[in-house]
């Protein structure tokens, strides 16, 4: 990957490439237990970094502990430019359930679990994952949780803080407690609830990191997307990722995959520039999906 202003973003104190990698898919089925292929999981991580990825998204509750331990096994000692972003706020049940863990004691435990399993003295960025309506945010104060993380930041265990699955009001509430450097919410070329929020964060130089950029557990399905992909000579996944990169300069990508082939396909999307007719054609997706047209798209 080449490096210029279009392809990089200042995240906290670090400049990272906008095309990153999300490690969640490396854990076993249902993001629980060991990977289906340990050697391939390590190879995916190593090839991502060798290809220029210097932003990896993870959590100690993926597995649990699995993706962090794979990252450490594959990449430790870490390259100076590698930024590992983790998230806290949930624990896994023995039945693979995802349960809130938002008390100060639970958040502190989660930070120490991440430090130990990643093998670092301080975490570069920690996102508070608010549970909301599972993959959508809902209103409610997050002051107690975010204050607990801000205290750990003051102790030097966390360099920067972010938020995940949050509303505009929650970002404002948290920002009054400590600086927020990134927001990680559910967003992609079809699911565009955060269009206004992305523009607001861009104006404040806060990164927006969409989770489910390829649809997550429900892969993106759209005839418009397929038609545009055929026209520009790319795959539908590459068009979905390239569209995000062009949507706003503060969008950072963390597509998740457990496959070397998919990793290569996804990283190549950073080289794809969608022409104006393709961008216009992609606007039809909202109507196709039965949604109202977006408020803004540039
Ligand atoms: N903050 C949060 O609450 C939250 C929630 C979910 C995820 N995340 C983060 O966001 C990252 C991205 O989300 P995600 O991994 O759930 O969803 P995603 O990136 O939208 O999609 C991943 C899915 O697409 C498949 N895939 C990836 N590349 C492909 C390709 N080129 N062709 C065909 N299929 C492909 C993957 O399967 P294969 O493994 O077979 O490629 C996997 O099933 C995660 O890794 C995680 O780090 C955060």
pLDDT tens sequence across 200-257: 999 999 999 999 999 999 999 999 999 999 999 999 999 999 999 999 999 999 999 9
Indicate whether 12 pLDDT > 80.
yes
Mean pLDDT score, 112-120:
98
Helix (H) or strand (E) holding 10: strand 8-11
pLDDT digits (tens, 9 = 90+) for 29-45: 999 999 999 999 999 99
pLDDT at 4: 45
Ligand 1 geometric centre to CA of 203 (Å): 27
> Would you tell me how many other CB atoms lie within 10 Å of the CB of residue 29?
9
Q: Which residue is closest in CA terms to ligand 1's atom 15?
A: 256
Ligand 1 geometric centre to CA of 119 (Å): 25
Angle between helix 168-175 and 195-203 (nearest 10): 30
Q: Residues with catalytic annotation?
A: 62
CA–CA separation, 108 and 145 (whole Å): 10
All domains of the chain in start order, with CATH = 5-221+248-259 (3.20.20.100)
CA–CA distance from 145 to each of 49, 74, 148, 181 (Å)? 32, 32, 5, 17
Angle between helix 66-75 and 104-118 (nearest 10): 30
pTM confidence score: 0.95
Q: Which residue is closest in CA terms to ligand 1's atom 33?
A: 262
pLDDT digits (tens, 9 = 90+) for 216-228: 999 999 999 999 9
pLDDT at 284: 85
Indicate whether 3 pLDDT > 70.
no
Q: Which atom of ligand 1 is nearest to the CA of 24?
A: 45
Q: Which residue is closest in CA terms to ligand 1's atom 1?
A: 164
- Those residues whose C-beta lies under 8 Å from the C-beta of residue 63, and which sit 6 or more positions away, are 27, 28, 31, 32, 33, 34, 69, 92
Tokens of 55: 């932003």
pLDDT at 289: 58
What residues line ligand 1, using a CB cutoff of 6 Å?
22-25, 57, 87, 129, 164-165, 184, 211-216, 219, 237, 254-259, 262, 265-266
pLDDT at 294: 47
pLDDT digits (tens, 9 = 90+) for 172-187: 999 999 999 999 999 9
pLDDT at 199: 98
């Amino acid at each position: 990957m080449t490096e210029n202003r279009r392809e990089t973003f200042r995240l906290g104190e670090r400049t990272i490439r906008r095309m990153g990698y999300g490690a969640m898919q490396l854990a076993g089925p249902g993001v629980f237990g060991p990977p289906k292929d340990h050697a391939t999981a390590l190879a995916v991580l190593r090839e991502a970094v060798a290809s220029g990825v210097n932003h990896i998204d993870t959590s100690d509750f993926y597995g649990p502990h699995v993706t962090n331990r794979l990252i450490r096994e594959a990449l430790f000692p870490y390259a100076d430019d590698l930024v590992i972003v983790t998230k806290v706020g949930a624990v896994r049940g023995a039945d693979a359930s995802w349960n809130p863990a938002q008390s100060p004691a639970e958040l502190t435990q989660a930070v120490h679990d991440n430090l130990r399993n990643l093998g670092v003295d301080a975490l570069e960025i920690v996102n508070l994952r608010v549970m909301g309506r599972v993959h959508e945010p809902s209103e409610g104060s997050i002051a107690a949780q975010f204050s607990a993380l801000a205290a750990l930041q003051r102790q030097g265990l966390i360099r920067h803080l972010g938020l995940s699955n949050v509303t505009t009001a929650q970002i404002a509430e948290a920002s009054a407690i400590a600086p927020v450097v990134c927001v990680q919410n559910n967003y992609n070329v079809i699911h565009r609830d955060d269009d206004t929020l992305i523009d607001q964060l861009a104006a404040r130089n806060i990164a927006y990191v969409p989770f489910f950029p390829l649809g997550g557990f429900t892969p993106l399905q759209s005839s418009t997307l397929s038609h545009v992909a055929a026209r520009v000579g790319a795959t539908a996944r590459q068009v979905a990722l390239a569209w995000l990169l062009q949507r706003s300069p503060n969008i950072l990508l963390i597509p998740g995959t457990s496959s070397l082939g998919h990793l290569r396909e996804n990283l190549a999307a950073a080289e794809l520039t969608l022409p104006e007719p393709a961008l216009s054609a992609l606007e039809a997706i909202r109507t196709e999906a039965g949604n109202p047209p977006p408020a803004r798209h540039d």
